[in-house]
């Protein structure tokens, strides 16, 4: 594709005499298989978000409190096919989706790079620390990324040969990406900048309209759901953004910006992230259309999330959509200028990937400072078992809690207990999914088991009967107490 050929690329197929793609399929397949093996022997409990996604899959809908629905649907499909709700099956889509994303990126890169470089793009992606972590957990990023990579590929396919069918498919991919995570909207920001600034990479306006139509069809059910549910998901997203508090001037949190920026060294790997920044500078300074196209589909995402970090906060993974085009840019930049740095970066990332994989199998063993290093991923099943035993020992069939973490663990790890679990009533805006869909019903008779911090007895009638035994893990410093109280006590608390 000469329109997007960059001066940074010296076009050589002579490095690997034979087609390297079969090596990529073998390599990506092997790495994915190792990650699935790590999942199979992992001793990590589901984290609160993962348990919540599982519950969404049990309660199929067109939208949910904090995210669009595709991750819940996917988990439901996998667990139904497996006839098991075990942690392994809940997390299994993660490594497979990342393997698929690597192959899609190779396909996209082949539109503009020699096969050898495109193959290395797949290898670079599949060894990112971000991907390693996303392969031992299940997250919405993992579901969105293959759709994002497919959309990049479809854009590149249309530059030399416009196609209404490919435009429609691109729109559908973006729509399904949007049904995975609202971060898919970044693609439109990037696409608009590319369309304005790079005439060589423009798609036909009529085909863009077709893509928008496909996107609209794919997201319509979630849009309707949001409208009929008081735009709850959008309100939650806005609360997360939290740029300016009502009645206050914006505050600049340079410490949060620095923290987020340094975290990207771990997300992409230290060598490759620094190489990415260097490639961006050189691409702006003297890069060709291809380098600038790749910058256009990566840097705006990173810049937006940096602003988010500066004005409020941002988690390290919030800029994940930077890296599909980002890894292509890094390979393009380093291949002919400093290939040894590329291989060194991949080697460093492979070591980090190995550490992540081993960590997933050592959650209950690795210690630091007298406690478990990964304590947030253990102790959750133990807590749920303690609650279940206490309820049965005291003849109680209803459990109530306020904490999203406690509720998530009770719903997942207590799924076969036969107990009813409810969220305590809240004043003000609904704080989480459980309070939205599973709040304590009015007029419930009898006593309930209420789980809260020891100093949070909700009323004078509450009787403390048990403390969560000391343990390593997610609840090691929570001082959880078990109270028996009449349900009306919680109703009066609203």
What average pLDDT is seen over the chain?
A: 91
- How far, in Å, CA of 226 to CA of 444, rounded? 30
Tokens of 205: 């306006």
Strand partners, 423: 401, 439
**Alpha carbons within 13 A on the beta-carbon side of 353:** 23
Count of other CB atoms within 10 angstroms of residue 469? 10
Tokens of 169: 């498919």
DSSP E strands, 409-458: 420-423, 447-453
Tell me: the pLDDT tens digits for 341-389? 999 999 999 999 999 999 999 998 888 777 788 889 999 999 999 999 9
CB 200 within 8 A of CB 4: yes
pLDDT at 246 over 70: no
428 Cβ contact list (under 8 Å, min separation 6): none
Q: What does the DSSP assignment read for 77-111?
A: HHHHHHT---HHHHHTHHHHHHHHHHHHHHHHHHT
Q: Predicted confidence band at 455 (pLDDT cuts at 50, 70, 90)?
A: confident
Average pLDDT for 149-173: 98
Tokens of 147: 């759709």
Helix (H, G, I), strand (E, B) or coil at 439: strand
How much of the chain exceeds pLDDT 70, in percent? 93
Q: Predicted confidence band at 428 (pLDDT cuts at 50, 70, 90)?
A: confident
- How far, in Å, CA of 342 to CA of 331, rounded? 7
Tell me: the pLDDT tens digits for 258-268? 999 999 999 99
Residue whose entry in the numeric block shows the structure tokens 């020992």:
393
Nearest to 413 by CA among 467, 362, 475, 457: 475
- How far, in Å, CA of 353 to CA of 374, rounded? 16
Average pLDDT for 267-284: 97
Tell me: the pLDDT tens digits for 198-245? 999 999 999 999 999 999 999 999 999 999 988 877 766 666 666 545
352 φψ region: left (φ > 0), alpha (ψ -120 to 50), beta (else): alpha
Average pLDDT for 36-42: 97
pLDDT at 1 over 60: no
Residue whose entry in the numeric block shows the structure tokens 């034979």:
18
* pLDDT in the model for residue 7: 36
* pLDDT in the model for residue 76: 99
- 491: part of which helix (H) or strand (E)? helix 487-491
Q: If 0-12 CB within 10 Å is exposed, 13-18 middle and 19+ buried, where does residue 291 land?
A: buried
Helix (H, G, I), strand (E, B) or coil at 427: coil
Phi, psi (rounded to 5 degrees) for 480: -75, 135
Tell me: the pLDDT tens digits for 402-424? 999 999 999 999 999 999 999 99
Average pLDDT for 286-315: 96
Residue whose entry in the numeric block shows the structure tokens 């030399």:
160
Q: Predicted confidence band at 460 (pLDDT cuts at 50, 70, 90)?
A: confident
Q: Where are the domains of the chain?
A: 2-239+337-360, 379-491
Tell me: the pLDDT tens digits for 434-451? 999 999 998 888 899 999
Residue whose entry in the numeric block shows the structure tokens 């291989």:
343
161 Cβ contact list (under 8 Å, min separation 6): none
Q: Predicted confidence band at 491 (pLDDT cuts at 50, 70, 90)?
A: confident
pTM: 0.93
CB 76 within 8 A of CB 437: no
Tell me: the pLDDT tens digits for 308-346? 999 999 999 999 999 999 999 999 999 989 999 999 999
Tokens of 274: 């620094």
* pLDDT in the model for residue 299: 98
Tell me: the pLDDT tens digits for 463-479? 889 888 777 899 988 88
CA diameter of the chain: 80
* pLDDT in the model for residue 17: 55
CB 59 within 8 A of CB 437: yes
Q: Predicted confidence band at 493 (pLDDT cuts at 50, 70, 90)?
A: low
* pLDDT in the model for residue 8: 34
* pLDDT in the model for residue 247: 56
């Amino acid at each position: 594709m000469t329109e997007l050929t960059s001066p940074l690329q010296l076009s050589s197929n002579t490095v690997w005499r034979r087609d390297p793609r079969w090596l990529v399929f073998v390599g990506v397949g092997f790495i994915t298989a190792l990650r699935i093996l790590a999942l199979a022997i992992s001793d990590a409990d589901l984290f609160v978000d993962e348990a919540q996604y599982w519950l969404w899959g049990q309660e199929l809908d067109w939208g949910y409190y904090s995210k669009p629905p595709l991750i819940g649907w996917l988990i439901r499909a996998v667990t139904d096919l497996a006839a098991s709700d075990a942690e392994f099956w809940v997390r299994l889509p993660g490594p497979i989706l990342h393997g698929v994303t690597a192959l899609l990126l190779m396909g996209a890169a082949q539109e503009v790079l020699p096969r050898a470089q495109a193959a290395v793009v797949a290898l670079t992606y599949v060894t990112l620390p971000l991907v390693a972590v996303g392969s031992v957990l299940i997250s919405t990023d993992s579901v969105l990324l293959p759709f994002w990579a497919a959309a990049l590929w479809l854009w590149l396919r249309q530059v030399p040969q416009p196609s209404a069918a490919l435009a429609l498919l691109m729109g559908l991919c973006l729509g399904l990406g949007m049904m995975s995570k609202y971060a898919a909207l970044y693609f439109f920001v990037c696409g608009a900048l590319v369309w304005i600034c790079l005439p060589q990479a423009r798609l036909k306006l009529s085909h863009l309209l077709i893509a928008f139509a496909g996107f609209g069809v794919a997201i319509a059910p979630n849009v309707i759901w949001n409208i009929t549910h008081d735009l709850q998901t959008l309100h939650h997203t806005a609360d997360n953004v939290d740029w300016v508090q009502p009645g206050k001037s914006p505050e600049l949190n340079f410490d949060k910006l620095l923290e987020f920026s340094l975290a990207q060294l771990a997300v992409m790997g230290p060598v490759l992230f620094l190489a990415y920044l260097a490639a961006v500078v050189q691409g702006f300074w003297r890069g060709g259309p291809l380098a600038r196209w790749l910058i256009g589909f990566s840097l705006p995402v990173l810049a937006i999330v940096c602003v988010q970090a500066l004005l409020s906060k941002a988690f390290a993974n919030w800029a994940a959509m930077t890296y599909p085009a980002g890894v292509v840019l890094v390979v393009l930049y380093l291949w002919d200028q400093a290939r040894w740095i590329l291989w060194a970066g991949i080697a460093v990332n492979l070591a980090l990937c190995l550490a992540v994989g081993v960590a997933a199998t050592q959650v209950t063993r690795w210690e630091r400072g007298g406690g478990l290093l990964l304590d947030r991923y253990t102790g959750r099943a133990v807590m749920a078992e303690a609650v279940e035993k206490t309820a049965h020992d005291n003849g109680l069939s209803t459990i109530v809690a306020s904490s999203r973490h406690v509720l998530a663990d009770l719903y997942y790890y207590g799924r076969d207990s036969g107990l009813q679990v409810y969220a305590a009533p809240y004043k003000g805006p609904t704080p989480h999914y459980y309070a939205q869909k599973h709040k304590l019903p009015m007029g419930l008779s009898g006593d309930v088991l209420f789980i809260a911090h020891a100093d949070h007895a909700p009323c004078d009638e509450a009787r403390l009967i048990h403390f969560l035994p000391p343990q390593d893990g997610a609840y090691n410093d929570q001082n959880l107490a078990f109270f028996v109280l009449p349900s009306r006590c919680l109703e009066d608390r609203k």
